[in-house]
Amino acid sequence: EDYIMARLVVNSDRTKGHINKEIYGHFSEHLGRCIYEGIWVGKDSKIPNTDGIRNDVIEALRKMKLPVLRWPGGCFADEYHWKDGIGPKENRKKMVNTNWGGVVEDNSFGTHEFMRLCELTGAEPYINGNVGSGTVQEMQEWVEYMTFDGESPMSRLRAENGHPAPWKVKYFGVGNESWGCGGNMTPEYYSNEFRRYGVFCRNYGDNKLYKIACGANASDYNWTEVVMKNAAHAMDGISLHYYSLPTGSWTGSKGASTGFDANEWITLLSRTLFMEELITKHSTIMDKYDPDKRIGLIVDEWGTWYDVEPGTNPGFLYQQNTLRDALVAAINLNIFNSHCDRVKMANLAQLVNVLQAPILTEGAKMLLTPTYHVLEMYSVHQDAELVDIDFENEDYSFNGITIPKYSVSASKNASGELNITLANLSHRASGRLSCELRGEKYTVVTARILTADELDAHNTFDNPEAVKPSSYDGFALRGSRLTGTIPAKSVLVITLK
Ligand code: AHR
């Protein structure tokens, strides 16, 4: 039987770096029903809320251990004027959300509401500033408004709006997709803009900003090269955006979220695995200008992108979320863990009702998607130490495509627990694992699994718990050897104590 075993060696005495909890971060844009309906219902809503923010969503986000949240965009960030979103609601300007369906944005959710959301969920705020259509002064004043503790025009305005004390803001993005919706700039031009805007994003008091430059669209390596060359000294992080599309086409059909076949399953997973190459290649360029790895690669948009659900507004990017999305999340998160020396934050697009959302809502109802469950299962890696592994992977082939059968990473937390997250990408073949635990001694193994019968198994508002994790007793520990079965199309977290 030995020959069909996947062989894993876990060297728990050899740690390889810190897995920032921010790798498990999220993104919430003024797009479709993400902020409005999904998070914000307003204080007068019948839906139970705290200061206008849905209680069911707050609770789910706490359970998932939401570490950091990016806002207000996305493309929306470069059209957003923050002063329109403060002060008495009745005076707030209404604007057109040109990027996302041309709907009216009434600015009822603004800086104060976002900061309250962060307080209620325990998330760090990650603010994305407007370079594309905003001024340097506007960006400077936003930072002052949020973080200055003293007498100034902006701190006085903040106090007038009911918040005398400053907030703490660490993560600050200087523009979004400046090569596209954020201003259609060249990397040479953007580098200069980043340097100029960056200067005026001040550190007030003991608030220290972590400034994130707009990075590349997927494999645009020249963007990273030029921006690093011209502006590395002025940044703390540089972003990367990469989405998984079943067809790979932005212009034609992207593929459906449900009702797909095994061919679309493996195609999407193979496109997701491209993240490994992207991170490796962008990191190599960064190494040239930042050999000490001071600058973080911030994957602040990742996830699946399908055709919208039939009958929904094409500008709202609403899609279902299946077991396949769970595998996509498992793969990406294992990749980010493995590159934690360079990847300091990642943000799934997007938090509620948009793209690969962990949470979907419909009126007063809320459901947790398969992606949510992976994030909750993987939360054991937050702020843990990456552990060195050796793995003899197997191949998974179908319809002319061959990819690795498993995706894996392991970490050790402060209390000495070892957690291995392991996904079986195959849509049909289970497998056997033989794992040698080197280093620390463990005596107890427990595991949880997320799987389902159908490839496109998903949760609906009528059946919200069709896909959810359960405990799994398919592993046995004898001395330092762990063996067990890894069911097809499954995501596992194995805990050793
Ligand atoms: O997440 C949706 C959009 O994708 C974001 O607004 C933009 O940054 C990216 O193109």
Q: What is the pTM of this model?
A: 0.98
Q: Measured from the CA of 350, which atom of ligand 1 is nearest?
A: 1
Of 136, 135, 231, 238, nearest in space to 191 by CA: 231
Mean pLDDT along residues 13-28: 98
Q: What is the mean pLDDT of the chain?
A: 97
Residue 335 CB less than 6 A away from ligand 1: no
Residue 404 CB less than 6 A away from ligand 1: no
| Confidence (pLDDT) at 2 | 43
Percent of the chain scoring above 90 in pLDDT: 99
What are the residues whose beta carbons fall under 8 Å from the beta carbon of 453, sequence distance 6 or more? none
CA of 199 to the centre of ligand 1 (A): 26
CA distance from start to end of the chain:
28
Read off the amino acid at residue 190.
Y
| Confidence (pLDDT) at 5 | 82
Cα-Cα-Cα-Cα torsion 28, 31, 32, 34, nearest 10 degrees, comes to 10
* Predicted confidence (pLDDT) at residue 4 exceeds the cutoff of 90: no
Of 345, 262, 347, 342, nearest in space to 303 by CA: 347
For residue 471, what pLDDT band results from cuts at 50, 70 and 90?
very high
CA of 130 to the centre of ligand 1 (A): 14
Mean pLDDT along residues 173-183: 98
CA of 241 to the centre of ligand 1 (A): 9
pLDDT in tens, 149-165: 999 999 999 999 999 99
* Predicted confidence (pLDDT) at residue 340 exceeds the cutoff of 70: yes
DSSP 203-259: --TT---EEEEEEEETT-HHHHHHHHHHHGGG-SEEEEEEEE-SS--SSS----SSS
User: Would you name the residues annotated as active-site residues?
Assistant: 177, 301
Task: Tell me which residue has its CA closest to atom 9 in ligand 1.
Answer: 74
* Predicted confidence (pLDDT) at residue 146 exceeds the cutoff of 90: yes
Task: Tell me which residue has its CA closest to atom 5 in ligand 1.
Answer: 74
Rounded Cα distance, 485 and 487, in Å: 6
Residue 79 CB less than 6 A away from ligand 1: no
pLDDT in tens, 36-94: 999 999 999 999 999 999 999 999 999 999 999 999 999 999 999 999 999 999 999 99
Residue 34 CB less than 6 A away from ligand 1: no
Q: Which of 69, 99, 177 has most ligand 1 atoms within 8 Å of its beta carbon, as the pocket-test mutant?
A: 177
| Confidence (pLDDT) at 310 | 97
Residue 176 CB less than 6 A away from ligand 1: yes
CA 137 vs. chain centroid, Å, equals 30
* Predicted confidence (pLDDT) at residue 440 exceeds the cutoff of 60: yes
Task: Tell me which residue has its CA closest to atom 8 in ligand 1.
Answer: 74
For residue 252, what pLDDT band results from cuts at 50, 70 and 90?
very high
CA of 74 to the centre of ligand 1 (A): 5
